């Protein structure tokens, strides 16, 4: 099982949309979008759990792709090249 980081999501994104996007690569075991406590909107990132080979296929295909008018970032959790702010 691999945990993926998904970033640069539109604020209007919901779990169903992200599940649909990733499910073509395999079973999405869990999804957690980080949401603003006041507005309830997505803060632009979240985490997804998938099997290893499925996760690698999703990263290869979706990283840098357009989703809702934004180029999303997809990678293994903890491999954030930008570092912490």
DSSP states of 24-36 as a string?
TTS---EEEEEE-
- What percent of the chain stands above pLDDT 70? 93
Q: Contact 68/10 with Cβ under 8 angstroms?
A: yes
CATH number, domain 2-76: 3.30.70.330
Question: Which residue bears the tokens 């997809």?
Answer: 74
Q: Are 4 and 55 in contact (CB under 8 A)?
A: yes
Half-sphere exposure of 70 (CA within 13 A, CB side): 14
| Mean pLDDT in residue range 40-66 | 97
Q: Does the pLDDT at position 23 exceed 70?
A: yes
Distance CA 21, CA 76 (A): 17
């Amino acid at each position: 099982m691999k945990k993926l980081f998904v970033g640069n999501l539109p604020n209007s994104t919901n779990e169903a949309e992200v599940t649909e996007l990733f499910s073509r690569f395999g079973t999405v075991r869990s999804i957690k979008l980080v949401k603003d406590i006041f507005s309830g909107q997505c803060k632009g990132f979240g985490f997804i759990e998938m099997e290893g080979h499925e996760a690698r296929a999703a990263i290869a295909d979706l990283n840098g792709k357009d989703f809702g008018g934004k180029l999303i970032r997809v990678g293994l959790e903890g491999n954030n090249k930008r570092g912490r702010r």
